[in-house]
Amino acid sequence: MKPEPPCDTPGASRYIEFGVQSNFSFLRGASRPEELVVAASLLGYAGIGLADRNSVAGVVRAWSQSKHIKPAADAAPAAFAYRPGCRLVFCDGMPDVLAYPRDREGWGHLCRMLTQANLRDENEKGATLLRGADLLEWGERMSLAVLADLSRAKDQMTLLRQIKDRFGEAVRLAVAPAYRGDDRFRIEQAAAMASALGLRLMATNDVLYHTSARRPLQDVLTAIRLNVPVAEAGLELAANAERHLKPPAEMARLFRRYPEAVEETWRFKKELGFSLGELQHNYPDEPTRDGATPQQELERLAKEGAAERYPGGAPASVTERIREELRLIEKMGYARYFLTVHDIVRFARSQGILCQGRGSAANSVVCFCIGITPVGPDKIDTLFERFISEERNEPPDIDVDFEHERREEVMQYIYAKYSGKRTALAAAVTSYRARSALREVAKAMGLSDDVRSGLSSSIWGSSSSELGEREAKAGGLDKADPVTRQVMDLANEIMGFPRHLTQHVGGFVITKDRLDEIVPIVKTAMDERKMVEWDKDDLDAVGLLKVDVLALGMLSCLRRAFDLLEDHYEDAHDDYGRSYTLATLPPEDASVYDMICRADTLGVFQIESRAQMSMLPRLKPKEFYDLVIEVAIVRPGPIQGDMVHPYLRRREQKEKVEYYKDELKAILGKTCGVPLFQEQAMKIAIVAGGFKPGEADELRRAMATFKRTGTIHNYRDRMVNGMADKGYPRDFAERCFKQIEGFGEYGFPESHAASFALLVYASCWFKTFYPDVFCAAILNSQPMGFYAPAQLVRDAQDHGIEVREADVNFSGWDCALEEAAFDPGKVLARHGDMRGVIKSRHAVRLGFRQIKGLSDKHMEAFVARRGNGYASVRDVWLRSGLDVAEIEKLAQADAFRSLGLDRRAALWAVRALDGKSAAEKLPLFDRPGIALRELEPEAALPKMPPGEHVIHDYRSLGLSLKAHPVSFLRKRLDGCGVMPNALLASAKNGRRVRVAGLVLVRQRPGKGNAIFLTLEDEKAVANIIFWPRVFDRFRPIVMGAKFVCVTGKLQSETGVVHIVAEKIEDFTPWLAVLQEGAGGDGLASESGEAQSNGHGDLSRQASALLDSGTQKVMPKGRNFQ
Amino acid sequence: MISHRDRNAQRIAALDERAEALGLKRGMGIADARAMHPAIDIEEADAQADRLLLEGLADWCDRYTPLVALDGADGLFLDIAGCAHLFGGERAMLDTMLTRFLQQGFIARAGIASAAGAAWAAARFASGSIVAVGEEAALLAPLPLSALRIEPAVRESLESVGLRRVGAVMATPRAPLARRFGALLLERLDQALGRSDEAVSPRLPAAPLSVERHLAEPITQIEEIERLTASLSQTLKHDLERRGEGARALGLMLFRVDGAVSQIAIGTSRPLRDPLLIQKLFHERLAATGQEYEVGYGFDLVRLSVLSVAAFDMQQTDLTGEIKDAEADIALFADRVRARLGDNAVRRPISVASHLPERSIALVAFTDAPASKSKNRVPSISLSERPVRLFRSPEPVEVPATELPEGPPLHFRWRRALYRVVRAEGPERIAPEWWRESIPDAMAKEGEDAGEVKNRAVAEKTASLTRDYFRIEDAEGRRYWLFRQGLYDAGRTSPRWFMHGIFA
């Protein structure tokens, strides 16, 4: 856009546009708030307002942008004026009103009015039913411009008079040129109406987009809104492209007969004194002891906490650090924020809910002392200033993770404490991503279904990168075709546009004053939850308190583990005889690190994935900080920045550590000169790239949201050039920048990694010493993590733990521990080191939760009514309160063994039960304990073969304790020269081997070309690597088969064994052998060819029909990107 | 390969041998299949078309018995009781039927049994067999449970207790079976064994009246068909008279030698029994619908059926012999014109929702005038703003001077005459329908990025095609609808003026 020449019409530059809708007027406005502000300033406007339809969701973004507008040297001296407002759209015939608050009180009124309309009982979620009465009730302290519908002048007069009588001088009549041929008449009519009512006329252009080039996009939005193709939307579309921001001189020309209407916008603006900056720092008051100030209270808590954390007295450096942090907190006035988070954490602890904080501000000693974070400054560098910087003046940010099943209790506490008046959830803006943008635009442009699905299936995941040739081709389209180009262009344009607001997963806004006078509150999909209209970034920008109350599965698992430990191992406690907690687990235990170094980490937190596991033997963690690095290193940031291998080489001392300059040694000293953490990359930008601290953070934010602004290149050039100028190698600078890019969305700051590392250590501690406890706890916390229950159970068994089947007479809902001697002899040779380490004394009894399709409520009642045990299937039916379908599920899970019934016999008995529930039956012959012989002829059922049992176990439980499916095939595999996976570890490097197994996981990490496959046989897993050429050749088998045989070269490097695949064969049909009826007496198949006459040779054909059943049951393997 | 939607997932519904050879299976997810073989061709299942095909086959089977029933998505039941002897006995009938299907390109399987269930199983698992009464058990015993036409759920639960073959089920005591698996299982078993009757409901009601002629030599000429129709309708007339009825709808079924069946139906506005009229209507119909059927190798069976009847009121005509019925006349007129000249011969104008005046009116065929649809969208442009007469294509007008940038002309020259503008109203600005136009590539100016270049291109293109309409009155009080194409500040091309219509 080129700047307009300065206008010569006097007063024209004093034009301010107030009738502006952004794309937060969903599916109407076609420009981002930021774009509108920038365009207005380039056109030489003195200012701009933003008034979205019954919403203020976009005002913060426009405000943030307006702060960056610097008056040009030759422009008018007055600063660019931005005013937030709202376009009130009524449901009862009242004309639209542009409402702009005059001061803080007026803003409160506006928010109250919108909240009232949002929360009406009769509203659907997301709808706003605003009535004229709402305006009359809450319209004080605002300036109002009424956009009267001139085609209904008569009844509009009445309504206008009503508004005028109520608000007097504050009211204007606004009119916009419509270009329908009668503008001169319309404006005169409006002027006549205004003078008849004693109102002043105000000009507007009723803007929907910042440039006329957005008309096509606006038409597409209309089409999406009406759910018709553009070509059929007809008169619903705008006839022309006039609703853009016009140069002030053009506005003056359009209103040349009424210059006062243009001038009026200036007067309107002068009445508006409210800025969003006034909302800042509305932190809730927390009760303090003896009426102390929040700062005093925080100081006291920090002092007491320090005494507790450091029983021997805190080291001087720590006390100094605390003093420094408290000073900064006092200066910025953040004490109340810390008290609020402290109180939430305190509540959770009092309820026995495991939790821990992370996030930027958690990175402080004060947070450590008052118990928000678990990792002290002796373990990591805490860089508090980075997160509360004086110059940025943004509120601190603390996220707290809670057990995923008990987070709700914490949320209820927050609601109860602050009430709906002072707290609500933050919003999350759902925006168009590549896939949705393409899908909806293609639909609006009338492309056919198959093209559309082809197009959108070409996009992996939820990307929001630019669409182009590749996507077009996938949809069978030619990029040169004009329609295709339009679709692509429009989809790229719409990407990042907000679609609707949803609730943030756990971000609470808490305020001291009434929340509904700060920001409008809206309904969410859940009745009892309310949210505000602003998202995380908006809240940050405005400076409101926000706490993320998040759910973390591993915390649930650990809490269960602590409970089980306390219940079953009375000897497990710390030196003072107290039960263990996260903070008091024996630290830095060598056995734990030994296990980690062996990559025996299946199931533990974070370091359980294939990529992590193969890193462990190379990284060889020996102490806590190594875990912090391990957590941070296998992330998109360091991987994209190509930092991983240099780090490993340097750590293994294969490469010299180089810092290029001393200034970097301070930053990168701990990580061998390689930036691995977010703050290191930021610091490099500051120290080496010449960014100011605030700018460096802006840079990081720009990465996360660069679609919004698109200014990434400037940053890149600045940083790379800046570093090159200072004498750094260019490729190092490039990599640093790339890493920041990767961090944008998946960054791990050090404190974050440290919080996670603590959970890594804790979960590893349990797995090392109490694999039984770990197994039961993690099974009871499913679904979580990377592995399915089958692997978790297998791993426990491999460590010598006995796992017992779910049984009607022994199991509870959860998996439980039962007394059993630990036999070190059962530990697999591969885990032989653990024989002397493991302290288990229990077996794991599977719970009913493993059985698919049962409900916890019913099964808990089932257990409660069990008494001395159930005597028969019939007894279960009569007493347990379960219905037949549920009992059948128990039978299918083979849970009646304690009654002497195998799966088939139990099913036969269950099928004989009729009716929904036993309660409806007369108890005549149905008294429990009386063994009534069933009065029916015996049916001779064939015995179920073991393979079939295994299949049914998989179907019902997802695992089998009886045998591994592959064990049935071992003989056949031996015949083919297939090596058991367990022997791979001892095989020679470089040897060619054949292995076989069920496909557990397929993975294609990051942008890497290799495809990883994990195969499982009855004893161990094998890790396969496919290079692209081989993969392309065998793609169907790699992606489709469930049971495969791979031939390839064995590669062993520092204890990590891979097989580089050369060939893969699909052995899936072999699984049919497990199935009853396969082999000797195959059945006729339905899909077989037409047969010769007669029915003699029917049984000759093997049954393709039956084995498809087996194949369905076996896990497909999980795919990860 | 054919896919179909099954609970929100695209799955393979059917596949050919080549796809099977690739290891694909029925019921597999399309996404999985694509992951394995990105190059496979996938066609969405068209249940409608499959159904139509099956119904076509059922039509063809009408030649064997009028009692043909559809069975599921891929089967037909033919009740041939009392028909087989017409075709030389069961074996001969079965063989010719299969042969003829094969000739038509279908791989069909068929079986004959006295019980519907047994025939069903025989067709699917022992094609070509004829099961004698009493032999049903022997046929069924070795077959898998799917031969029993039972729900998959029941089949699975039977299999889960180890009963995998029909024989095993037959050997199990009935009471426990009924108790566990429901009465339907036993009913299916009994039906298959011929122990209980099963009614097969034919898909077409047998026509109230129907006459047909088998032809030894297939006929191909339209005249022959008409002649045959005449003689058949002569036969019908007597039947109709005897019943005191007239035909409201008639169907002529032409069975082609190679299996295709064409049905030509006519409706009449009044009950009809006059063979001449019937023949005439078919004459017009046959002439008009010549493309709807192909003669191929000729028809070997022609059947004329009365599809619906109504009481035949003998109507007293007046002395002139004319009956006045205006509405019927229009419809009759339209019908006859359409019958002769095709459906598109009669058209009516409708209004279309478009801002562009020349697109706001369209002509559609008489029959598909969407009376209701046009009422749904109330046009927001009032008719008084539009000229009474809109030119089909705008005519160029010379305009020497206007008020800039968007004023009306002061004079204009149209068809060589000069007009002075006295009054003008406007502009009404109408932008082009961008989705019909492509946006030209724009050259980047210095310092512009790609987005700005595109934006400028769009804006310029729009501006140069945008029209400003003016309602204009000249000195004599005549009113015109003029527009200027292109805005003055659009740059490169200077605007041009056109006359697009005149007000009365």
Note whether A740 and A664 are within 8 A (CB): no
Percent of chain A with pLDDT over 90: 29
pLDDT score at B109 = 84
Predicted pLDDT at A30 = 94
Of the candidates A994, A1005, A1008, A999, the residue with the CA atom closest to the CA atom of residue A1050 = A994
Q: Inter-chain contact B355–A482, Cβ cutoff 8 Å?
A: no
Over the stretch A735-754, which tens digit does the pLDDT of each residue have? 777 777 766 555 577 777 88
Residues of B in contact with A211 (CB under 8 A): 455, 459
* Nearest CB to A215 within list B142, B380, B431: B431
A1037, pLDDT greater than 50: yes
DSSP 3-state assignment of B390? strand
Token duo for residue A873: 């299937």
Assigned token pair, A245 = 């921001």
- A206, A1101, A1116, B473 from B22: Cα distances, Å: 61, 20, 18, 76
- Look at A235 and B456 and tell me if their CB atoms are within 8 Å: no
Return the percentage of chain A with pLDDT > 70, whole number: 83
The closest of B258, B333, B339 to B299, measured between CA atoms, is B258
**Inter-chain contact B377–A1095, Cβ cutoff 8 Å?**
no
| B172 contacts in chain A (CB < 8 Å) | 939
Q: With contacts defined as CB-CB under 8 Å, which chain A residues touch B173?
A: 936-937, 939
C-alpha distance from A1078 to closest chain B C-alpha (Å): 11
> Of the candidates A239, A1036, A1103, which has its C-beta nearest B23's C-beta?
A1036
Any B CB within 8 A of A245 CB: no
- A chain contacts of residue B164, beta-carbon cutoff 8 Å: 1076-1077, 1083
Whether residues B144 and A489 touch (CB distance < 8 A) is answered with no
| B316 neighbors B218 (Cβ within 8 angstroms) | no
B380 to A235: CB separation less than 8 angstroms, yes or no:
yes
Q: Do A239 and B431 touch (CB under 8 A)?
A: yes
Q: Which residues of B67-86 are buried (b: 16+ CB within 10 A; e: fewer)?
A: bbbbbeeeebbbbbeeebee
Q: Is the pLDDT of residue A467 over 80?
A: no
Does the predicted TM-score (pTM) go above 0.80? no
Are residues B381 and A908, on separate chains, in Cβ contact within 8 Å? no
Best-predicted range by mean pLDDT (A21-35, A709-723, B337-351): A21-35
What pLDDT, on a 0 to 100 scale, did the predictor assign at position A299? 93
Q: What tokens were used for A903?
A: 């799966």
Residues 54-83 of B with CB under 8 A from A: none
Least Cα distance to B189 among B134, B133, B149 occurs for B149
DSSP B206: P
- Nearest CA of chain B to the CA of A1093: how many Å? 6
- Average pLDDT value for residue range A614-620: 83
**Taking residues A139-161, what's their average pLDDT?**
90
Chain A residues 147-186 with CB within 8 Å of chain B? 179-182, 184-185
CB contact under 8 A, B161 and A892: no
> Binning pLDDT at 50, 70 and 90, where does residue A1094 land?
very low
- Closest chain B CA to residue A450: B44
Q: With 0-12 CB in 10 A as exposed, 13-18 as middle and 19+ as buried, what is A471?
A: buried
- The pLDDT of residue A1106 is above 50: no
> What is the average per-residue pLDDT within A271-296?
86
Whether residue A1037 and residue B36 make contact (CB cut-off 8 A), yes or no, is yes
Q: Does residue A912 sit at the B interface (CB-CB below 8 Å)?
A: yes
B32 contacts A1039? CB cut-off 8 A = yes
The CA distance from A570 to A568, in Å, is 6
Q: Long-range contact list for A952-955, CB < 8 A, 24+ apart?
A: A952/A892, A952/A894, A952/A903, A952/A1113, A952/B160, A953/A893, A953/A894, A954/A790, A954/A1113, A954/A1114, A954/A1115, A955/A852, A955/A892, A955/A1113
Q: Is there a contact between A982 and A1019 (Cβ–Cβ < 8 Å)?
A: yes
Q: What is the pLDDT of residue B8?
A: 57
pLDDT for position A763 = 94
A199 pLDDT above the threshold of 90: yes
- What is the CA A156 to chain-centroid distance, rounded? 48
Q: Do A181 and B385 touch (CB under 8 A)?
A: yes
Torsion sign, CA atoms A547, A552, A554, A556: positive
Strand partners, B3: B12, B44
Chain B (462-481) residues lying within 8 Å, Cβ to Cβ, of chain A = 462-463, 466, 469-471
CA–CA dist B204, B122 (Å, integer): 25
Check CB contact of A933 with chain B, cutoff 8 Å: no
- Distance from A122 to chain B by nearest Cα, in Å? 28
* Nearest-by-Cβ selection for B434 from A216, A1066, A1091: A216
pLDDT at A11: 43
User: Using a CB-CB distance cutoff of 8 angstroms, which residues of chain A are in contact with residue B23?
Assistant: 1036-1037, 1040, 1066
Please give the residue of chain A at the shortest CA–CA distance from B178.
A912
Facing A213 at nearest CB: one of B37, B181, B455? B455
Tell me the chain B residues in contact with residue A473 when contact means C-beta distances shorter than 8 Å: none
Secondary structure of A791-813 in HEC code, one letter for each residue? HHHHHHHHECCCEECCCCCCCCC
CB–CB of A1095 and B139 under 8 A?
yes
Report pLDDT digits (tens) over A536-587. Answer: 888 888 888 888 898 888 999 999 999 999 999 888 887 777 788 887 888 8
To test the contact with chain B by mutation, choose from A31, A32, A150, A212 the residue with the greatest count of B C-beta atoms within 10 A, namely: A212
B32: which chain A residues are within 8 Å (Cβ-Cβ)?
A: 1039-1040, 1116
Contact in structure between A1025 and A1018 (CB atoms under 8 Å): no
Contact B458, A213 (CB under 8 A): yes
Query: Tell me: the pLDDT tens digits for A208-238?
Result: 999 988 999 999 999 999 999 998 888 889 8
Segment (H or E) for B89: helix B89-103
Q: Which residues of B touch A215 (CB under 8 A)?
A: 431, 434, 458, 462
> Which residues on adjacent β-strands are paired with residue A1059?
A1024, A1050
Can you give the three-state secondary structure of A67-131, one letter per residue? CCCCCCCCCCCCCCEEEEEEEECCCCCCCEEEEEECCHHHHHHHHHHHHHHHCCCCCCCCCCCCC
**Residue carrying the six token digits 């219905």:** A883
10 Å CB burial of residue A526 (0-12, 13-18, 19+) is exposed
Q: If we measure between CA atoms, which residue out of A32, A34, A38, A30 comes closest to residue A1? A: A38
Is the CB of A911 less than 8 angstroms away from the CB of B180?
A: yes
Q: Residue A481: pLDDT above 90? A: no
Alpha carbon distance A245, A40 (integer Å): 7
Residue whose structure tokens are 């100081």: A299
- Integer Cα distance of A858 and A916 in angstroms: 14
* Partner residue facing A1090 (CB), from B127, B426, B452: B127
Residue B314 in contact with partner chain A when CB distance is under 8 A: no
What distance in Å separates the CA atoms of residue B145 and residue B148, rounded to the nearest whole number?
6
Phi, psi of B426 (to 5 degrees): 150, -170
Identity of the residue in B44, B173, B459 whose CB atom sits nearest the CB atom of A939: B173
pLDDT tens per residue, range A322-381 = 888 888 888 888 888 899 999 999 999 999 899 988 876 666 888 888 888 877 766 666
Q: Which residues of B touch A213 (CB under 8 A)?
A: 454-459, 462
- Contacting residues of B for A240, CB less than 8 Å apart: 429-431, 466
* Average pLDDT score over chain A: 82
Query: Average pLDDT, stretch A67-81?
Result: 64
Residues in chain B closer than 8 A to A943 (CB atoms): 162
Q: Does A491 touch chain B (CB under 8 A)?
A: no
DSSP class of residue A406? T
Torsion of Cα atoms, B186 then B188 then B189 then B194, to 10°: 120
Cβ neighbours around A588 below 10 Å, total = 10
Predicted confidence (pLDDT) at residue A914 exceeds the cutoff of 90:
no
The rounded distance, in Å, linking the Cα atoms of B394 and B204 is: 57
The answer to whether B301 and B63 are in contact (CB under 8 A) is: yes
Instruction: Give me the residues of A, 1009-1038, that contact B with CB < 8 A.
Output: 1035-1037
Residues of B in contact with A1086 (CB under 8 A): 124-125, 144, 146
Q: What is the pLDDT of residues A91-133, one digit of tens each?
A: 988 999 999 999 999 999 999 999 999 988 776 666 788 999 9
Low-confidence ranges of chain B (pLDDT < 70): 1-9, 35-36, 199-200, 204-208, 267-271, 288-293, 312-346, 365-384, 437-451, 489-493
The CA distance from A416 to A412, in Å, is 6
- The predicted pLDDT at position A200 comes to 94
Q: What gap in Å lies between CA B153 and CA B427, rounded to an integer?
A: 71
